[in-house]
Amino acid sequence: MKLVRDYLTLFSISGAIVALDQWSKYFVRSRLAFGEAWSPFEWLSPYARFVHWNNTGAAFGMFPQGSLVFTIVAIVVALAIIYYYPQVPKTELALRIALGLQLGGALGNLISRLTVGVVTDFISVGRFPVFNVADSSISIGVVVLLLGMWNEERATRRLAAEGADAGGSASEDKNESVQTE
Asked, for residue 40, whether it belongs to a domain, the answer is: yes
Is 165 noted as a catalytic residue in this protein? no
- pLDDT for 181 beyond 60: no
What one-character-per-residue DSSP string does 36-98 give? -EE-SSGGGTTTEEEEEEEESSSGGG-STT-HHHHHHHHHHHHHHHHHHGGGS-TT-HHHHHH
Q: What is the DSSP-derived secondary structure letter of residue 35?
A: T
On whether residue 22 sits in a domain, the answer given is: yes
135 is catalytic: yes
Is 91 within a domain?
A: yes
Q: Tens of pLDDT along 114-129?
A: 999 999 999 999 999 9
Candidates 6, 21, 135, 165; catalytic one = 135
* Cβ count within 10 A of residue 130: 21
Convert the pLDDT of each residue in 129-176 to its tens digit: 999 999 999 999 999 999 999 998 998 888 888 877 776 554 455 444
Residue 174 lies in a domain: no
Side chain identity, residue 68: L
- The answer as to whether 170 is a domain residue is no
Among the options 6, 21, 121, 165, which is catalytic? 121
Whether 178 maps to a domain, the answer reads: no
Give the domain range for residue 67: 2-142
List of residues 6+ apart from 105 with CB closer than 8 A = 17, 21, 133, 134, 135, 136, 137, 138, 139, 141
**What pLDDT sits at residue 66?**
65
* Residues near 15 by beta carbon (within 8 Å), at least 6 away in sequence: 104
- 10 with 89: CB under 8 angstroms? no
Residue 155 lies in a domain: no
Q: How many folded domains does the chain comprise?
A: 1
pLDDT digits (tens, 9 = 90+) for 33-71: 999 999 999 999 999 999 999 987 665 556 566 678 889
